[in-house]
Structure 1
């Protein structure tokens, strides 16, 4: 007998529903975003590609905590990009139209808009049809038309594209208070109502999928987002590393009017180890008016080498 699902209503109704369900939910911490270099087809996916796409065992264990409930109408949207020769998932919060439910509008943004950070990209195309619903068992069902897959991808990139959808759908449902983060959360993808579609000619759809571990960026800068204008004085920077307790090196470069970059501040910090704040880091810096680039990297404990550099450009004043 088909599992009963509840269509997601428009935003006003969702806000009323949210008030009834969010209390006591979502202990997880926020995810972070980062910058990467140009994408390319040669990056490899650790483990079995089908297992990675479906969130099955055999994929590395580093995963991203589920987003927490937020009052903002901004939608969490995941993009794809490169770090150290491998391709990872990165997130931005985006302003989106309010006419659709949170999951649908976040996925629509993922498939139709450009990332704020020019280093991110998405292989998805804007589909003619896109809808979503959530069952009582925390399964998000996404039904979209075939035109969303009009990109030529290799097997590894196809896996990441499918996981990009899974991460975005679960993030949108969690941040809007529509799912119980204390239970397993899965996403089932239908194409024109059918369960037998092979995404990008590589990934079989239809079965419920969860977030695959090992696909989030090793270092994330959550705030500021790319191109943000910040008030002068004390500037707060937050981020996350996948290595809790690991050393991080950071650098602030001042960006001149001609594009030249001059070292301005440098330092080190340590990613948090507390259960509720694992991998998180915070910097409070005093910056004068101007344009800056922030760089954060993991530091190898044995060699001292800086790995997985993440960058972000922003303005102060």
Structure 2
């Protein structure tokens, strides 16, 4: 075998730490971009389609992932929708974004206007004419977006996932930038042109506080390397997360040939961390010769069917 993988015990923290002067202005509310409409009296937590789960698809685990913590990276955490086998989940990428706006607005604007790096991911959101955010002292993020952001034809299930995509991205950006206490529950209020009670994508009634819903994030996702990156030498560090702490994972490296074929290059198994501080994290250290590669990671099927469950893939190159 042309190489050997050695799983490491810990993962690399991702994200970024932002030191913003706006933190000094936090009192009852922290206004981050301009002036947006007040959310009004504190509403109840949503229990409708905005908080959908994946329970309508047999065999899908109730997946969850910890809220992002304050990070040293200057990239924005953005969630996308992606397919794995016959299932649909949320996946995260860290993106370079302009710094004209606050971290939450930047991440949401990327989610609504950019394309994912990974071609397996997509977003149903449209680039809005208006987008602003604020954070209250009660760990509530208010998002005020124009109606044109919802110009996509979705069914009810995908509409619920799109709203959760927004909730995950907004809360990730708020927590990873240090603007919100990640030790407390973070909720999101979505206004459309300053008003509540909008029917998003013709299926999800907005105007109530929403939080992250379990069952949305992918059971397995590769964090690094990101799609399409070039590694400067043959030492490649792979990190990712599984929503099954202590669970077995199968990984494979495929080498892309000049004719477009992909041939097996390395393969192995590893175990996701079970410790609370690194729950679900997996890390691999590989030595690869120059070339183009595809990484595949999946959960090991404990039923004995030898099926690759919840596969995530990533293409990268070594130069």
Q: What 5-or-longer segments of structure 1 have no aligned partner?
A: 1-12, 22-48
Alpha-carbon offset, residue 231 of structure 1:
2.3
Kept after mapping to 1: 8 A contact 2:52/2:160: no
Please give the per-residue CA displacement for 1:261-292, whole angstroms capped at 9, x wherever unaligned.
11111111111111111111110111011111
Matched, 1:109 2:106: no
Give the counterpart of 1:54 among 24, 28, 51. 51
Please give the per-residue CA displacement for 1:110-163, whole angstroms capped at 9, x wherever unaligned.
111111111111100111110000000000000011010000000000000000
- TM-score, structure 1 normalization: 0.83
Alpha-carbon offset, residue 18 of structure 1:
5.5
The DSSP-based 3-state class of the residue aligned with 2:111 is helix
Matched, 1:227 2:224: no
Q: What 5-or-longer segments of structure 2 have no aligned partner?
A: 1-17, 27-45
Kept after mapping to 2: 8 A contact 1:79/1:122: yes
Distance in 2 (CA, whole Å) between partners of 1:112 and 1:127 is 8
Aligned positions, number: 277
Matched, 1:309 2:314: no
The DSSP-based 3-state class of the residue aligned with 1:165 is helix
Give the match for residue 246 of structure 1: 247
The DSSP-based 3-state class of the residue aligned with 2:249 is strand
Alpha-carbon offset, residue 236 of structure 1:
0.7
The DSSP-based 3-state class of the residue aligned with 1:196 is coil
Distance in 2 (CA, whole Å) between partners of 1:50 and 1:210 is 10
The DSSP-based 3-state class of the residue aligned with 2:122 is coil
Alpha-carbon offset, residue 72 of structure 1:
2.5
Give the match for residue 173 of structure 1: 174
Within-5 A mapping of 1:289-304: 289-303=290-304, 304=306
Distance in 1 (CA, whole Å) between partners of 2:183 and 2:244 is 23
Distance in 2 (CA, whole Å) between partners of 1:193 and 1:292 is 47
Alpha-carbon offset, residue 302 of structure 1:
2.3
Kept after mapping to 2: 8 A contact 1:55/1:209: no
Distance in 1 (CA, whole Å) between partners of 2:295 and 2:138 is 42
* Deviates most, 63-72 or 86-95: 63-72
Distance in 1 (CA, whole Å) between partners of 2:89 and 2:50 is 13
